[in-house]
Amino acid sequence: MSLDLSIALCLRDDETRLPVMAKAAVEVAEALRREHAAGEWHEAPEHAREEAWIAAGAERRADPNLSYEVLALDESSRDNTLSVLSILHGRHSQLRSFQALEPGTAVMRAARLARGRVWLIVDAPFDLAHGLWATRQVFCGDQAAVIPGEVLALRRGVGQAALGWMGGGLVSAQREVERLLDSHGQRPAWSPPRDQALRNRARLFVRGRLAGFGLGQFDRR
C-alpha cells in the first residue's frame, strides 16, 4: 500500500532519545496533515522541479487526509531501545519497527522499506520546524531538502536510486542525494544547521566521508 509520507528514525542505543524523536515525527506528520486538509499548501506533481510555494487558496484533493507511517530502524541496540519501542507501539498505530540491523544499514533499509511518496530521514532528536520545512519543500516540488547533519527529506524515486545500496548514516545519505541530483543538473533545497561553529562543520565533513572508507557505521549524531 502506497502512502504519502514515511518518516524514518535511524536508531542505535537511543533509549533516552527515542521518545522525543517519535513524538516529533508524529507531530510533523499530523501538522502536515492538518495543513494539507486546510489547503494551506499546494502539492506539486511528481515531475515538478520548481521551488516550493505556499498557497492559502490551493485546491484540495478529493481525499484531504495525508497518510503516513513512522519507521523505527534499530541497528542492534544494546540498551533498552527495543523496550521503549514496544511501549511506543501501543501509543502510535502508524509505527513500524525493524530490529537487529547491522550498524550503518538503517538508511539503506529505510530506502527499501518505506512506502511513502515523500520520505523524512533523521537519526537524532530534531527541530520540529526544520522537519516541517524540509518535508513541505519536497511535497511542493523540490526533489530533496537538506539541513546538514539534522534532516533529509526526499522523493521516493530519488531515495531508491541514491540510498538503496548505500552503507552509512544520515550525513552520508545527504551527500549521496546531493551527488545524484548534481549528476542531473539539480540541487536539493538547502538550509544551514543551527550550529555553524567550526567544530560542527568539521564533524559533518568527517561524517560525510566515513562511508567511502567503509566506516559508515560511525556516521551518527
Q: Kindly report the CATH number assigned to the domain that includes residue 157.
A: 3.90.550
Q: Does position 58 have pLDDT exceeding 80, yes or no? A: no
What is the per-residue pLDDT for 55? 34
Q: Does position 157 have pLDDT exceeding 80, yes or no? A: yes
Closest listed residue to residue 108, CA positions, set 22, 179, 176 = 176
CB 154 within 8 A of CB 198: no
Interval 169-183: pLDDT, tens: 999 999 999 999 999
Per-residue pLDDT, averaged over 100-122, amounts to 97
Mean pLDDT over the full length of the chain:
85
With a threshold of 0.85, does the pTM exceed it?
A: no
Q: Does position 214 have pLDDT exceeding 90, yes or no? A: no
What is the per-residue pLDDT for 57? 33
What is the per-residue pLDDT for 113? 98
Domain that holds residue 201: 3-218
What ranges in the chain are assigned the alpha helix state H?
A: 18-37, 81-89, 106-113, 128-139, 156-163, 170-183, 198-210
What is the per-residue pLDDT for 193? 58
What is the per-residue pLDDT for 14? 96
Q: Does position 219 have pLDDT exceeding 70, yes or no? A: no
Closest listed residue to residue 108, CA positions, set 22, 21, 211 = 211
Q: Is the pLDDT higher at 212 or at 186?
A: 186
What is the per-residue pLDDT for 218? 53
Residue 71 is placed in which grid cell? 519507521
Closest listed residue to residue 21, CA positions, set 84, 83, 86, 77 = 84
Residue 41 is placed in which grid cell? 499548501
What is the per-residue pLDDT for 50? 40
What is the per-residue pLDDT for 173? 96
Per-residue pLDDT, averaged over 108-128, amounts to 97
**Bridge partners for 70 per DSSP:** 7, 95
Number of domains in the chain: 1
Q: Does position 85 have pLDDT exceeding 70, yes or no? A: yes
Q: Does position 22 have pLDDT exceeding 70, yes or no? A: yes
Per-residue pLDDT, averaged over 104-108, amounts to 96
Q: Is the pLDDT higher at 47 or at 58?
A: 47
